Structure 1
Amino acid sequence: MNPIQQAVVWLNDPLNWTNPGGVLDRLGEHLTISAAAVALGCLVAWPIGLWLGHTGRGGGLVVLLSNVTLAIPTVALLTLLPLTFLGFGQRPVIIALAVFAVPPLLANAYTGVRQVDPEARDAARGMGLSGGQLLRRVELPLAVPYLAAGFRTAAVQVVATAALASFVNGGGLGQIISAGFGLGIAVGGGQILAGGVLVALLALLVEVILAVVERMVTPRPLRRRRTRADRRAAAAIQGT
């Protein structure tokens, strides 16, 4: 059988799903790692992005932090962190993926606050709101669509990249791919392909679910504005 047929056979074997270390176990590990990494990224990036956006300063810092974190290879972090006190397992994987999640979370948090209508800020200040109250009651609610967009981007990237956790025995669906390579291409080619398909399908599912959530939290006027902006951007790209 060719690798595609082997993958179909592998995926249709119930034991590959229910046995210890099977798809269901690895899926749970994958989702746990990804959720923890995105949550850690939110705890770091959102407060910084929201505060810098509120003060109107630090735009260059946001760009710098985003570029620096993007420039750090995830594989390099996964290689170096287990050599520290963190050791092997899920903890270094979560930290490495959290670093990978920070750029979209930080950039969208900053942009979301800066996109708030200045007249809304002036009206809030005229009502006597302090800086903290302005951020909590006005800027943060209006920035929610941007936060959702950044969360969606970060989550999809982390889910897709979490397959690398197998390099440091961190679990996840990548273990299926790694085990397939251990068997050799001739024997484990179908398992490798099946593991890759599972990771891709999970990333697509997360993308669809979070796209729906993002649309639900985006007010209709902002949806229309974004649609027009996307159309203008597409027209500009076609014209070049």
Structure 2
Amino acid sequence: MDKLLSAIGWIFDGSHWKPGSQNPLPIQDRLIEHLLYTAISVGIAALIALPLGFFIGHTGRGRQFVIGFTGAMRALPTLGVLFFLLMVFGYFLSYDDAPIVGATIAFVILAIPSMLAGAYAGLEAVDRQVIDAARANGMTEWQILTKVEIPLALPLIIGGVRASTLQVIATVTIASYAGLGGLGQIISNGIGLNDYDRILGGALLVTALALSVDGLFALAERLTATPGLTDHRPATSRRSSSRSTRPHANTTA
């Protein structure tokens, strides 16, 4: 408890929020760097994963491939991928640019699987009868996707983005080992100085950031949930034709 209180005291020490000779980048600058790496990586991943997930969820094509692909991507060691990309881009880019590009690509690779799974699973969870009704009313496939499927699947889609964002926030901490900044730099500096207050303070900052972002995404999921839909039942396959169920007539003797 004493160490925890000491680390909290380190965080709220005003000198650590002001630049100085022993503190060239204060806490708020490290926080901005951490958020910047996260936002760029998640944004690029969203441009790749969400359209692909919408296509797979709407058409049902490539589902098995995506399941295997996302499983394999999640098994990749992020730190190993990070240093591999640093070596590769080190031959083609400058000393300052290689870590940024390599780390960003590694974080994008990390963010894609959860976001992709959330996108196609969200669309597949939409009730087939709702889609059939929209198609019967003359809506085009694009209108069905943008006005029916995505709005109904939005909580699950946001859930995938939420999982990806939290993974990236946690992993950006290791960017300091590649010469980049972020809140992980505070921990790295603490390790080099044997300053346990700094180490634990940096870890608490990363935890607080992750919990804050998680809370915002949880609120977004709640606000985007369609009223009246309390559960997401598994959807039937798109390849199977929808059949209307008719009540059997009661026969009396």
Partner of 2:13: 13
Among all aligned residue pairs of Structure 1 and Structure 2, give the percentage whose two residues are the same amino acid.
Answer: 39
Q: Residue 231 of structure 2 aligns to a residue in which SS?
A: helix
Q: Distance in 1 between matches of 2:64 and 2:187?
A: 40
Q: Distance in 1 between matches of 2:98 and 2:14?
A: 30
Q: Residue 220 of structure 1 aligns to a residue in which SS?
A: coil
Which structure 2 residues correspond to residues 33-44 of structure 1 after superposition, within 5 A? Answer: 33-44=37-48
Give RMSD over aligned pairs. Answer: 2.0
Query: For residues 51-104 of structure 1, what are the alpha-carbon distances to aligned partners after superposition, in whole Å with 9 as ceiling and x for unaligned?
Result: 011111222112112111101111011111111235543332222111111111
Q: Residue 180 of structure 2 aligns to a residue in which SS?
A: coil
Q: Distance in 1 between matches of 2:74 and 2:150?
A: 26
The runs of at least 4 aligned residues of structure 1 exceeding 3 Å deviation read: 2-6, 86-89
Partner of 2:248: none
Q: Distance in 1 between matches of 2:8 and 2:143?
A: 56
TM-score (norm 1): 0.86
Unmatched 5+ stretches in structure 1: 230-240
TM-score (norm 2): 0.82
Partner of 2:245: none
CA contact (8 A) 1:33 1:94 kept: yes
Partner of 2:86: 82
Q: Distance in 2 between matches of 1:198 and 1:8?
A: 9
Q: CA deviation at 1:176?
A: 0.2
What residue identity is the alignment partner of 1:208? G
Q: Distance in 2 between matches of 1:123 and 1:47?
A: 24
Partner of 2:116: 106
**Is 1:194 matched with 2:201?**
yes
Of 209, 220, 225, which residue of structure 1 is paired with 2:231? 225
Which structure 2 residues correspond to residues 1-240 of structure 1 after superposition, within 5 A? Answer: 3-4=3-4, 6-19=6-19, 20-85=24-89, 87-184=97-194, 188-222=195-229, 224-225=230-231
Q: CA deviation at 1:196?
A: 0.6
Q: Distance in 2 between matches of 1:75 and 1:196?
A: 18
CA contact (8 A) 2:3 2:197 kept: yes
Q: CA deviation at 1:117?
A: 1.6
CA contact (8 A) 1:40 1:98 kept: yes
What residue identity is the alignment partner of 2:40? A
More helix by share: 1
- Segment of structure 1 superposing worse, 86-95 or 40-49: 86-95
Q: Distance in 1 between matches of 2:70 and 2:44?
A: 16
Q: Which has the larger radius of gyration?
A: 2
